[in-house]
Amino acid sequence: MSKSKKIVVLGHFGVGKTSLIRRFVSNSFSDKYLVSIGVHITKKVVEISPTESLSFVIWDLEGTDEIDTIRDAYLLGTHGALFVFDVSRPSTFQNLKEDLKIVTAKMPKVPVLIIGNKIDLVVEKELKELLKEHNIDYNFLTSAKTGSTVDTAFLELAKELNV
């Protein structure tokens, strides 16, 4: 039986947190935008190697532009987190450093991966220049729509948690 880990997915409104999770868990995507209210929980077993796996219990938290308003109660006992921003909306990553400070203050010692989602909407070269210009450090650039790098991001988190 694989070990269970609580993963929270955070970020501003409409950055594609739910779509990212849906792509990872059920390999599907919908263009319809439905606002997440409260929290939605899903589960997926991640195979790290032929002999090792982790069971991710993923908490999809409702998006908020004020990261400090996220309920602390939802973050308790978190093992790993994904902070998602929308590469096509600079307002979701302009204050990334401040947002991450709040996140790490709320969840000290919890590994947080930074994901730039919706890369299908932008030209990658221009995006990289823009992120460099804003001095944005990220771990992965993904597209929930095409599935690009989504599994890789979650697998990376699983590897970090399995150390």
Cα–Cα distance measured from residue 138 to residue 118, given in angstroms and rounded to the nearest whole number: 14
Cα-Cα end-to-end distance for the chain: 18
- CB contact at 8 A, 115 and 157: no
The answer to whether 123 contacts another protein (rule: CB under 8 A) is no
Whole-number Å distance between alpha carbons of 89 and 141: 14
Instruction: Report the DSSP pairing between strands 39-47 and 80-86.
Output: unpaired
Closest distance to another protein from the beta carbon of 74 (Å): 6
| Of 51 and 69, CB closest to another protein | 69
Q: Which stretch binds another protein (CB under 8 A): 51-59, 89-97, 99-107, 131-139?
A: 51-59
38 near another protein, judged by CB under 8 A? yes
Taking the C-alpha atoms of residue 11 and residue 85, their distance in angstroms, rounded to an integer, is: 6
Asked if residue 72 binds another protein (CB under 8 A), the reply is yes
12 counts as binding another protein under rule CB under 8 A: no
Residue 41 binds another protein (CB under 8 A): yes
Please select the residue that binds another protein; options are 76, 101, 124, 146, rule is CB under 8 A.
76
